[in-house]
Structure 1
Amino acid sequence: MTQGNSEQEPITVVDNRKIDPETGEIREPVVAADTAAAGPGPDLGNGVQTDTLADTIGGELAERTADLQRLTAEYANYRRRVERDRKAAIDTAKASVVTELLGVLDDLDRARAHGDLESGPLKSVADKLATALQKQGLEEFGSEGEPFDPTLHEAVQHEGSGHDPVIGIVMRKGYRFGDRVLRHALVGVTDGVSDLAATPDQPSEEASDIDADTSDR
């Protein structure tokens, strides 16, 4: 044998067992020095660097935050819409019930006009009913001297020139529930105080003219 053949390279044995046979403990993986030094960050074993992973997590977090904010805004709008619809349904139901009681209020007004509600148990019942309906939001309108409003009043008769129309007589009261008009007031319209005050002046002028003509004769 030659000297070159007799000299063999040393054999290196690498123990890749994950459990130490002597102590029974789990061994930590050995990372090569050149692998640890390569790249901007340590390799996680699947080819993804820590910086890239941080960017990915940050992007997903921002996306989830935007989704949560959008969902919160949609839920708040939904709650406001449901509350608005619920209130509208309650007001509609109340207005329907109150409308059925307007005939009773008309009967009580007629009884009051005849003096039947000046005393006695019927007066107490009428006052309690009116108070209860007012607490629910019922309002009456239409009284003598108020300016005439065609959106609230229905005129069945009209006296005067109509320059400054006001309510002269109320034949039936009007009622509204909140912003909703349940019934228009049935009224008679006449001229306002300014027109009525100006009307008597004309006969006076005509009378003075007649007197002047008489004196000239």
Structure 2
Amino acid sequence: MTAGPDGPTEGADPEVSQETSGEAPVDEAVEVPADEEEVVDEAAAEESTEPEQAAEPTPEQQLAERTADLQRLQAEYVNYRRRVERDRAQSRQQGEAAVLRSLLTVLDDIGRAEQHGELTGGFKAVADALHQALKAHKLEGFGAEGDVFDPRLHEALFAAGESPDVQVTSVGPVVRTGYRMGDEVLRHAQVGVIEPASGEAPAGDEDE
């Protein structure tokens, strides 16, 4: 039996009709009972609260954390105090060195007056008092003829020849005295340089 123009042919296979129609079957939504949804929600809520309960630190852990924080703060404070004290000492030393450098020209004048025999009377007393005061600040002069030449302390201005009396490069005539405060060189000594005599044996080494 044949259907009308708009209906399917009678006796036709339903599966064939679906394939020829070009329409895919529609899946029906599966309904979940309300009581099962509540059970699922409660289980999910329990799972979400379990990590929070497990992550909560114990009193011993809290005490250890607070102790570590206090120790870290104490170490930072100790380092801060050391840094402040070191910076303060460096600033004080730099200021003291600047004052002493400004007095070196005065000491040069005193030295020249002494060489010319003009350091007498009250002037000598003042000069001696000044030297004692500066010595209290660890100011020390250096650069004497015959000293071993040291480029860290001496500034060579000229060659003063050779001498059989020296075995190494030595200080010759001193043009200007050098000064240092402790281990810090405030001014290099300006000197002439004497070299050992070439081709001659040092004194005391000749065969008798």
Question: What TM-score do you get using the length of structure 1 for normalisation?
Answer: 0.61
Are 1:190 and 2:194 an aligned pair? Answer: yes
1:134 is matched with 135
Report the Cα distance in structure 2 between the residues aligned to 1:95 and 1:178, rounded to whole angstroms. Answer: 10
1:80 is matched with 82
Q: Secondary structure at the match of 1:101?
A: helix
Give the 5 Å matches for 1:1-217.
56-117=58-119, 119-158=120-159, 159-160=161-162, 164-192=168-196, 198=201
| Aligned amino acid, residue 75 of structure 1 | Y
Q: Which has the higher contact order (CA 8 A, sep 6+)?
A: 2
| 1:170–1:185 CA contact under 8 A, matched in 2 | yes
Instruction: Name segments (4+ residues, structure 1) moved above 3 Å.
Output: 194-197
| Aligned amino acid, residue 134 of structure 2 | L
| 2:154–2:188 CA contact under 8 A, matched in 1 | yes
Give the total of aligned pairs: 147
User: Displacement, 1:133?
Assistant: 0.9
Question: What TM-score do you get using the length of structure 2 for normalisation?
Answer: 0.64
Q: Secondary structure at the match of 1:189?
A: strand
Report the Cα distance in structure 2 between the residues aligned to 1:93 and 1:124, rounded to whole angstroms. Answer: 27
Distance 1:80 1:195, change over 3 A: farther
Q: Secondary structure at the match of 2:99?
A: helix
Q: Secondary structure at the match of 1:65?
A: helix
| Aligned amino acid, residue 145 of structure 2 | E
Q: Percent identity?
A: 53
Over residues 111-141 of structure 1, what are the superposed CA-to-partner deviations in whole Å (9 max), with x where a residue is unaligned? 1111122x41111111111111111121111
| 1:164–1:195 CA contact under 8 A, matched in 2 | no
Report the Cα distance in structure 1 between the residues aligned to 2:178 and 2:143, rounded to whole angstroms. Answer: 6
Distance 1:187 1:196, change over 3 A: farther
Report the Cα distance in structure 2 between the residues aligned to 1:166 and 1:153, rounded to whole angstroms. Answer: 10
Root-mean-square deviation (CA), in Å? 2.7
Report the Cα distance in structure 2 between the residues aligned to 1:59 and 1:126, rounded to whole angstroms. Answer: 71
| 1:163–1:195 CA contact under 8 A, matched in 2 | no
User: Displacement, 1:166?
Assistant: 0.7
Q: Secondary structure at the match of 2:173?
A: strand
| 2:167–2:202 CA contact under 8 A, matched in 1 | no
User: Displacement, 1:191?
Assistant: 2.9
Which sections of structure 1, spanning at least 5 residues, go unmatched? 1-51, 201-217
